[in-house]
Chains A and B, each alone.
Chain A
Amino acid sequence: MPPLLEVDGLQTQFVTGTGTVRAVDGVSFAIERGEVLGLVGESGCGKSVTSLSIMRLVPPPGRIAAGHIRLEGEDLLAKDAEAMRQVRGARIGMVFQEPMTSLNPVFSIGDQIASAALAHGGGGRAAAWERAVEMLQLVQVPSPGERVRDYPHQLSGGLRQRAMLALALVSGPRLLIADEPTTALDVTIQAQILDLLRRLQAERGMSVLMITHDLGVVAELCHRVAVIYAGRIVEMAPVARIFARPMHPYTQGLLRCLPHPSRFGQPLFSIEGVPPDLRRPPAGCRFAPRCPHVIESCRRAEPPLGEREPGHLVACPVLP
């Protein structure tokens, strides 16, 4: 069975007055059916642009410059606008970070969910409305029959995010792309949403691409994780492996600079320096200027993503 989603050598660039920003520069990964893949990195690393590229929603002046994206074997980049519209919602659902701006403030959440149901499933208005209530129940919104008439501003952050999930899932997509869905939420609400996501994913056998900067969220929710830095994947492995034995110096740095109960109060390890300017990425390994293990050859050639151990890919020749 081919993977549900295959991304192959994706390159997405932004043409600006000061140069072309190579935001995503050769990213490849696959998501199997029923799998949760985490895409983790800091700001500017290209993780959000990757998700937008898959949905072909990259805003101008951005454009997909190269690569392939295959959903259930079909090439998404070859589809025209109408076909892509069918894909979005029906086959790929998306949930964003800030539900206040991704939900239309002038329509009730019921209206929005029902519209999505109608657009992708047909049937009548009444049936669509019922679907909306069902979905709200699925995402555990209390009193869904009443809440369905609420407007986004009447809901708290957690409820809005649940409404977003309902909207994303109403047409039964096989793949859910979640871009920092819990970052703007309080931590106890975040825990609820993560629990909900985990449950829904298991029940529906859905694949999830989870984009986040929070390694804790990755540990809670994902099966596999890809670490992305300066537009490239530097390490990809099952979650247990990557936390137990991170192999790329960037991944190691990220894990070590987090406050952890075992070392509260002690100076934190910090990764020196700043990410490179993606208009002029350095030759060779992009992490080299900041890497504590750098050797001469690192600066000359970009290390390929190689399989160090079964299932564990790393783009670094230095570590054993």
Chain B
Amino acid sequence: MKDQRDRGNQYFSPRLDQAAPDLFKDNLGSRHRRGSIWKVVFQISTVIGIIALATLILKIFNDTMGYAAIEYKQPPSTLAAGETSLDLMTCDQLWPILAANVSANRLRTIERDTPRESLSQQDCYNLVLYEVAEPKAKQTWSLLASIFNFEEIQAIVDEKYPEGDLEFKVWLNKSFIVSPQSDDPLRAGIKTAILGSLFIIVIVILFSFPIGVAASIYLEEYATQNRFNRIIQTNINNLAGVPSIIYGMLGLAVFVRFLEPITSGTLFGIGDPTTANGRTILSAGLTLSLLILPVVIINGQEAIRAVPNSLRQASYGMGASKWQTVWSHVLPNALPGILTGTILAVSRAFGETAPLVVVGAATFITFSPENIFSKFTSVPIQIYQWTARPQDAFQNIAAAAIIVLLILLLVLNATAVLLRNRYSRRW
């Protein structure tokens, strides 16, 4: 403290000290010190956040690839009979192997479902692989374990699965993206879930965006300040914080049960009788729309409030009506904010699981949804279901599905940023 003061006095005459020696204490040193301490606190907080995020991503990536002990009913090497490996053979070479190893009935069924002429080499290979070789993933290891403990893994496989092969598997691959759900983790894919999620999101956008924006315009530009409107405003703010499972209960009661004829499509005569119980994409989409509606409204209000009042005044001052003012000035200038808020809310809906469980997402569907009255599953539901399975390999494909979900969310959020930059103006 003392030398700080002396240092200061080297350059400047001590005016404060002279004027009121008792009223001011020289605290420059402690002020700087306090500032440095807080700066370190902020840095530590940031580092903790980064570590948490990195751990999450590392953990997920760690599970998406690694060694797997796979046992075959008939190993591919014996099937190929020493000629070459199965995945390099042509369809013409593969077909006899298939024909020789499945029953005549099964072969007829395969030929009826997938005529041989329409099959690519990859399809033929998959047919032989899954119909004849029938691989089973017995145990899987994470990427880090695969890299650092290879010998140990080798020993375990030799001891426990003498018949099995040790293969390095990348669980997040093309066939994982384009395959439907299956109860075999080696064949299971995320296609049905992605399609279900996309269907739901389209419905969410179609419902929550227009309704939310219209409501926020009304509340900001038209509603007068009275008790009734204040109550509405408070309720909207509170609804934004209601746990999503509650919305699931609401969706179950209203859309699945009460509005069943509409949500199952029987009213329009296009519903599938097997799903005609209201547990459809439409019900899920409407439930999630309700869930994010308060958030969309609040974001819309914020964006509208951020439009400078001088623009409204200028517009009114020229004899514009309220609607002309809103349409020509308020909305165009609030649009970037409204879009950003809506997309962020939509990405929240994209990752929601709990309400969909209540509304009745199917956890096991092998066919893609055809229309909004179809049964559905979604990516988070699929992840939830896979992580609940005891087998090792399901944990790996759950991790792969998480990566897919994160990428889809990233794309949505990037769209939000792009829209904001594209339309943002200054005034």
The answer to whether A and B belong to the same complex is: no
Residues of B bordering A, CB below 8 Å: none
